[in-house]
Chain A
């Protein structure tokens, strides 16, 4: 048994951690969030230069052979720094699909360009009616000679405005909720028939609704086998879920630490409010929530990926915890800050909003609790 990280892993964490402390303070983050672009391209270049964009891929694919631990370390820091740069969308989502199913040629082209920062990418995993069900896909792809004609609508595509490559699941057979019959397509944003409605999101990020009308895709842009894209989609979303849980824990810890600190300095009734036992116990509860969440994170990170069922269970268990304990820690941090907790000026509000968005992303607590039950042997 060994919970320690290696020297390389520790060095990786230090690089990003130092970057946040020195060059990505809250003020800069808010400037980026309020700006015209969805994220800061210089900062993304830093990710590329430091090799963060390569870490999660195998050496064969041009990566650095990192795994879940590296991903966790990066995402926790992204959470702590409330970073807006699309590591999740490019690397975990789009990169995740490509590393699993991409042909050599697709990897050389798309994955290579993602790693070296030449293109932006994402996965369009939701439709208006689908809620959290990845298999609920009504976007259709009809084969016509050597190409496919795609029609449908994708809602809430993160990094959708900047993505040159949008990986879209579409239905090539079966009915709306069948897992079989889903095919993954690599779609260029330049394709005729795509229309985009981009908006900022409440957490300072941005996302896009994409309407797809008679978009023609050549057969070499199919990723993986026809009709058999679902497993890859689910595995990729699971990995992404793990990633955002790490991000959430970075945020929870930050909220907790800042609240304890605030309670030591804010004086009411002649003493720091941290002196009131009613608040002390609640901060202790928050600490326990953070620690329990961290433990589940490590459980999921260390679960053998080859045992897919166990891994799914661990990830759903973790996401349930983030959806419940995360909500609790967020609300308590705001409450204990009093009026300051709901003012835009303070980072507390923005940490809370991102945490709230992460609760929903890839399925809320109820969804994952049910999935946990469904995966359990009865």
Chain B
């Protein structure tokens, strides 16, 4: 039993480090490190850099432009990406709809959609949740009714992340209500956001940002060949995707990166709020969190080891999601606590590439800590709330 890298894996690690050192655009790095919000163009530019390197579609099979990496290589890459504080890949195309298309789509669909997803030419969003169907996703009501060689879509999707930037939306839609179980009669359908009848309305979140939306469908005509796989099987496809979403949500490497930044903050507190340095109760909280995080890292490694010998991530992925998001939220709390009064000014616009520390209220990015804390309460809600994850573990692991 060991967690050592082979010499090849060591070489790979160096290769990845060199890539982030040389190819990660400096202006985007500056923005990431200095709490300056990224624009859509920044995400796309960065993902295209990864694409040029052949490292965008990490989990995809090689034939569709994937890396063919081993589990360990993926792990190394995720770690280096976090250490470089590079923006996470926007998951909707590369992480979510891509895998569904190459697994369940037909040849024509693969050729039509996958290259643009891999190259980040097309921005996707996820249309699952509805106002009346959150945790109880299978109760969704947005309808896709057949009419000749088209579906007519009517209804409302909500909480659609970055829908305002998206070109396409992948949806779970009800194609039949005449079913024994509500999970049946749901289909996985792709919709071009420019189709007449699609409107996007912003939802402002707690900290004042615009990242989620309501998407309305009024008599939206969608070609039948935008259906992925079989009609009525969308629930099964969608669930596979959710499990992948949950493992990646754990964000161990990113939490490690942030934990180290928090320690730096305390180390440098003599220039800011010196009393933090001797604040033993605060140091104990950081240490406790570090121990939690180490446990999660090993739990993730165990899951990865199981996946690498061919097991699909099962209900244990719920554990990673629950603990992973709890740790992220705890980090948010501690950053805000460390910032103290400087977490309170609402000055998100003070950070820009042209501004510098002396012009800012607070030390470093102190004032963002509260916004991050408030906003990231979402982490225990989206992707299936943590209560729902516990229900899944209770049912499928404990057999209750």
Contact = CB atoms under 8 A, between A and B. Distances in A.
A339 B129 contact: yes
Interface stretch (B107-115, B166-174, B259-267, B372-380): B372-380
B373 A343 contact: no
Given A268-B136, A349-B206, A356 B374 contact: yes
Interface in B308-351: 333, 336-337, 340-347
Contacts of B336: 356, 360
A20 interface: no
Interface in A84-133: 126, 128-133
Interface stretch (B94-102, B141-149, B381-389): B381-389
A27 B104 CA distance: 48
B61 interface: no
Given A129-B274, A331-B377, A343 B341 contact: no
Contacts of B75: none
Given A131-B275, A338-B385, A349-B374, A156 B341 contact: yes
B243 interface: no
A357 B207 CA distance: 13
Given A269-B136, A356-B373, A344 B204 contact: yes
A335 B206 contact: no
A353 B341 contact: no
A349 B272 CA distance: 30
Contact of A345 (B204, B274, B374, B391): B204
B177 to A, nearest CB: 16
B381 A341 contact: yes
Contact of B380 (A132, A197, A269, A335): A335
Nearest to B270: A129
Given A129-B273, A202-B207, A342 B374 contact: yes
A335 B388 CA distance: 12
Interface size class of A (residues with CB under 8 A): 35 or more
Interface stretch (B51-59, B188-196, B276-284): B276-284
Contacts of B212: 339
Contact of B281 (A130, A267, A361, A370): A370
A124 to B, nearest CB: 12
> Chain A contact residues: over half helix, strand or loop, or mixed?
mixed
B347 to A, nearest CB: 5
A65 interface: no
Given A202-B207, A339-B159, A339-B381, A268 B134 contact: yes
B340 A131 contact: yes
Contacts of B274: 129
B133 to A, nearest CB: 8
Nearest to B276: A131
A342 B345 contact: no
Given A278-B387, A339-B158, A344-B208, A199 B345 contact: yes
A209 B377 CA distance: 29
B72 to A, nearest CB: 36
B374 A352 contact: yes
A201 B208 CA distance: 12
Interface of B: 129, 132-136, 139, 158-159, 203-208, 212, 272-276, 279, 281-282, 333, 336-337, 340-347, 361, 370-371, 373-375, 377-378, 380-382, 385-387, 390-391
Q: Lowest 6 CB-CB distances: which A-B pairs, in order? A: A344-B204, A349-B206, A268-B136, A156-B341, A342-B206, A131-B273
